């Protein structure tokens, strides 16, 4: 590399030992400035000559066409750089809730988090939800307050909000004073007003002494360094290097969250870039290496116990596909985190499917590269703790495990969010229809949060997504990447019907004029069964009035008519049909004739009793902050829901349980997010079908089961 910080000379930064690596993911609400911050870090480290702009679609991490058009991150992106002899794998994770799947992939690949909030916007419900994602992943965190130079940006207020939301472990490490940063540990001040970082030499003003004392005490307490505490209490002047070492230890232990301040010119607003040198120092000296973060658990492929992984380049190979991308020129490219061993190009590895998939195979990997935007820079190997891109893994999907063929392993999968927004689509042309299945398969391979459903009851192709923005991206990719044009259609909820009482039915199919005739007559009794009982066919024929060989034909005809429905056209369920009489002809009776007679008999019986429409009902659990419980319960009731109860859960939240008709839940993923300002989540499970209210059934008969 050229330049002391690793300026680009066409090669990727390399690391031979895990201690030389930092895997850091940028997490924060949409609009907090993560991508802009990533650009500033890449420029400050000499990786790129100058920072791109989100508004121009010229940033390294937002290089996808959809991101350039929408001016926001929708993918997890890797941007490696080198600083001070350390390779930093910087991961830029999308902050919008619809793309939480990529966020979780970034948390899996990283060993630490830079949690980004804006000094202008502070801490909102979205930030709290993201913090909980980081806490669930048990990752150490440092906080970065951006936009401290803006008129409405208040660093002190932001820190107070962070402490209120995330606890007393939130402590400032640097404090902005205009375009000067005050280092509380070092006691040094750095002036950025000229556009160049210059130490002003005035030292730490007395007004910052309480903040410095609070920081040092928090570091010593959280690191549990009794020796340093004794020296501090004795009034000894502590070396900065000792404090930094304890800072890193306290951050790794998860009890301390140091806060840094940054300012990066945004849009057309000029100004100096503030805080990158300090941030680079914290990343490389204050955040843990892969050696200090336990790898995920593994099992043998046969389900047996395997030894715990160690981040050892000489250990058994265990790597995981963090993200899959389909490149129109290169093919499938897999972003891989190596937890143990060393991955080398052109070797055969064992690939084990994710989430309990029984599929496994051996495959030869292609070249290993280090991605930087659209550029793929070749690397010779990828050691334990490092991240690289792998070409030519033609069947591997996000979440799959790569291991040695002689020692197959399976990495414990991370939890994927539930896709709860259904979007019905259909191809615009026959040509699109031919390409659609393959395109959707490739999209599902790279984005496991997309779920595909061919609904047999409605005949619709349904994409289950995380939200409207997620659905828009999926449909955009179908068009721009795969050339498949689809259109949305109104989603049809799978309604059913049953009999409202007992009824007799006559089926008469007699055609005896000209040529071979058709003759089949049957009499049936139809009775409703309890919900969920299914279908029962009873033979009560006496004396052979319907020959034995034609009794299955009657049942087949009844079943076919049940699938088609009667007046409403919805499938009939939960019925007992008893065949008790009929008539046959020695020549003209046939299988087809009695199938038709059976169908006619069911239709005749249905004309004599009410046939209520049944709608699907889901069991719904909604997890929301306590302050939104009343609104959520009221909203569920307005959706014809039956609230079953609620129970408190830790961290000031409540779990609400209810039974709600599916017709009322089609847009709930979007509506709940709006109602709770992005803080509510829910799960749904099919429970049963039950009668739909009469007035709604009448509307459905007129308009169809469209949500």
Domain boundaries, the chain: 18-292, 298-411, 421-487, 499-606, 614-703
Q: In which residue ranges of the chain is pLDDT below 50?
A: 1-8
Distance (Å) of CA 126 to CA 28, 72, 154, 245, 678? 8, 16, 19, 32, 5
Q: How many CA atoms lie within 13 A of 171 on its CB side?
A: 25
Q: Considering the domain 614-703 in this protein, what is its CATH number?
A: 3.30.70.240
Residue 510, Cβ neighbours under 10 Å: how many?
16
Q: Which CATH architecture has domain 298-411?
A: Beta Barrel (2.40)
Yes or no: say if 193 and 180 are a contact pair by the CB < 8 Å rule: yes
How much is the pLDDT for 4?
Answer: 37
For residue 77, with 0-12 CB atoms within 10 Å meaning exposed, 13-18 middle and 19 or more buried, which class applies?
buried
CATH class of 499-606: alpha beta
Q: What is the DSSP string of 523-584?
A: EEEEEE--TT--EEEEE---TTSS-GGGHHHHHHHHHHHHHH-SSS-PPB-SEEEEEEEEE-
φ, ψ dihedrals at 672, nearest 5°: -65, -40
Q: How far is CA 343 from the centre of its chain?
A: 27
Alpha-carbon distance 254 to 417, whole Å? 25
Q: Are 402 and 353 in contact (CB under 8 A)?
A: no
For 18-292, CATH gives 3.40.50.300
* End-to-end Cα, the chain, rounded Å: 58
Q: Is 614-703 the same fold as 421-487?
A: yes
Q: Is 687 helix (H, G, I), strand (E, B) or coil?
A: strand
- Residue 211, pLDDT score: 94
pLDDT of residue 268: 62
pLDDT digits (tens, 9 = 90+) for 320-350: 999 998 766 667 889 999 999 999 999 999 9
Q: What is the DSSP letter of 677?
A: T
DSSP string of 578-613, one letter each residue: EEEEEE--TTT--HHHHHHHHHHHHHHHHTTS---E
The backbone torsions φ and ψ at residue 289, rounded to the nearest 5 degrees and listed phi first, read -85, 170
What distance separates the 2 farthest-apart alpha carbons in the chain?
A: 116
pLDDT given at position 515:
67
Torsion angle of the four alpha carbons 208, 209, 211, 213, in this order, in degrees rounded to the nearest 10: 160
Taking the CA atoms of 123, 289, 336 and 681 in sequence, report the sign of the dihedral they define: negative
Report the pLDDT value the prediction gives residue 69, as an integer from 0 to 100: 77
Asked if 384 and 339 count as a contact pair (C-beta separation under 8 A), the reply is yes
Q: Are 672 and 684 in contact (CB under 8 A)?
A: no
Count CB-CB contacts under 10 A for residue 513.
6
Q: What's the pLDDT at 6?
A: 42
Q: What is the rounded CA–CA span in Å between residue 678 and residue 466?
A: 12
DSSP string, 453-491: EE-TTT--EEEEESSHHHHHHHHHHHHHTT---EEEE--
CATH class of 421-487: alpha beta
Beta partners for residue 363, in sequence order: 349
Residue 575 phi, psi dihedral angles, 5° rounding: -130, 150
What distance in Å separates the CA atoms of residue 287 and residue 568, rounded to the nearest whole number? 64
pLDDT given for residue 356 in this prediction: 59
What's the token pair of residue 656?
Answer: 């609400």
Instruction: List, as own/partner pairs, every contact residues 583-586 make where C-beta atoms lie below 8 angstroms and the sequence separation is at least 24, other chains included.
Output: 583/519, 583/521, 583/545, 583/546, 584/519, 584/520, 584/521, 584/545, 584/546, 584/547, 584/550, 585/512, 585/517, 585/519
């Amino acid at each position: 590399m050229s330049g002391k910080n690793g300026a680009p000379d066409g090669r990727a930064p390399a690391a031979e030992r895990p201690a030389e690596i930092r895997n850091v993911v940028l997490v924060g609400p949409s609009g907090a400035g993560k991508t802009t911050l990533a650009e500033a870090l890449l420029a400050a480290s000499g990786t790129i000559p100058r920072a791109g702009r989100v508004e121009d679609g010229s940033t390294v991490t937002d290089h996808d066409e959809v991101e350039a058009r929408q001016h926001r991150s929708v993918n997890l992106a890797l941007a490696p750089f080198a600083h001070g002899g350390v390779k930093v794998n910087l991961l830029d994770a999308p902050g919008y809730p619809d793309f939480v799947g990529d966020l979780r992939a970034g948390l899996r690949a990283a060993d630490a988090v830079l949690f980004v909030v804006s000094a202008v916007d502070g801490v909102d419900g979205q930030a709290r939800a993201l913090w909980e994602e980081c806490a669930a992943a048990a990752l150490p965190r440092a906080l970065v307050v951006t936009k401290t130079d803006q008129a409405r940006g208040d660093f002190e207020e932001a820190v107070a909000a962070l402490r209120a939301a995330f606890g007393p472990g939130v402590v400032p490490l640097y404090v902005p004073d205009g375009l000067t940063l005050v280092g509380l540990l070092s006691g040094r001040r750095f002036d950025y007003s000229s556009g160049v970082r210059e130490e002003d030499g005035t030292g730490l003003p007395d007004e910052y002494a309480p903040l410095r004392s609070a920081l040092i005490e928090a570091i010593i307490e959280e690191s549990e360094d009794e020796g340093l505490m004794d020296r501090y209490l004795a009034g000894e002047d502590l070396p900065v290097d000792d404090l930094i070492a304890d800072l890193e230890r306290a951050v790794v232990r998860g009890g301390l969250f140091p806060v840094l301040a940054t300012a990066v010119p945004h849009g057309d607003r000029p100004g100096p870039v503030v805080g990158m040198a300090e941030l680079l120092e914290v990343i490389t000296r204050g955040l843990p290496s892969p050696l200090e973060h336990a790898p995920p658990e593994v099992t043998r492929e046969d389900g047996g116990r395997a030894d715990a992984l160690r981040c050892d380049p000489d250990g058994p190979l265990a790597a995981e596909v963090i993200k899959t991308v389909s490149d129109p020129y290169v093919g499938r490219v897999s972003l891989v985190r190596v937890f143990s061993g060393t991955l080398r190009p052109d070797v055969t590895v064992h690939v084990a499917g994710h989430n309990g998939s029984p599929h496994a195979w051996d495959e030869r990997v292609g070249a290993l590269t280090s991605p930087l935007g659209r550029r793929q820079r070749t690397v010779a190997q990828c050691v334990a703790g490092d991240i690289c891109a792998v070409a030519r893994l033609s069947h591997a999907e996000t979440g799959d495990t790569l291991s040695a063929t002689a020692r197959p392993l399976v990495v414990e999968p991370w939890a994927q969010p539930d896709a709860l927004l259904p979007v019905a689509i259909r191809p615009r042309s026959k040509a699109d229809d031919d390409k659609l299945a393959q395109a959707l398969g490739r999209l599902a391979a790279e984005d496991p949060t997309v779920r595909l459903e061919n609904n047999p009851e409605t005949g619709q192709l349904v994409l289950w997504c995380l939200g409207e923005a997620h659905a828009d991206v999926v449909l955009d990719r179908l068009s721009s990447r795969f050339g498949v044009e689809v259109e949305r259609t109104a989603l049809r909820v799978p309604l059913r019907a049953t009999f409202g009482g007992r009824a007799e039915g006559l089926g008469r199919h007699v055609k005896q004029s000209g040529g071979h005739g058709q003759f089949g007559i049957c009499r049936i009794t139809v009775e409703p069964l309890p919900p969920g009982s299914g279908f029962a066919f009873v033979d009560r024929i006496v004396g052979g009035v319907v020959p034995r060989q034609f009794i299955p034909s009657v049942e087949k005809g009844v079943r076919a008519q049940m699938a088609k429905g009667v007046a409403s056209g919805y499938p009939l369920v939960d019925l007992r049909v008893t065949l008790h009489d009929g008539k046959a002809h020695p020549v003209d009776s046939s299988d087809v004739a009695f199938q038709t007679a059976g169908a006619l008999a069911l239709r005749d019986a249905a004309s004599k009793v009410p046939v209520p429409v049944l709608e699907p009902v889901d069991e719904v659990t909604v997890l929301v902050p306590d302050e939104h419980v009343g609104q959520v319960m009221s909203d569920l009731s307005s959706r014809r829901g039956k609230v079953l109860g609620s129970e408190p859960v830790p961290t000031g939240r409540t779990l609400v349980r209810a039974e709600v008709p599916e017709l009322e839940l089609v847009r709930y993923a979007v509506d709940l997010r709006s109602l709770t300002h992005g803080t509510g989540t829910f799960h749904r499970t099919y429970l049963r079908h039950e009668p739909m209210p009469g007035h709604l059934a009448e509307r459905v008969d007129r308009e169809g089961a469209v949500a």
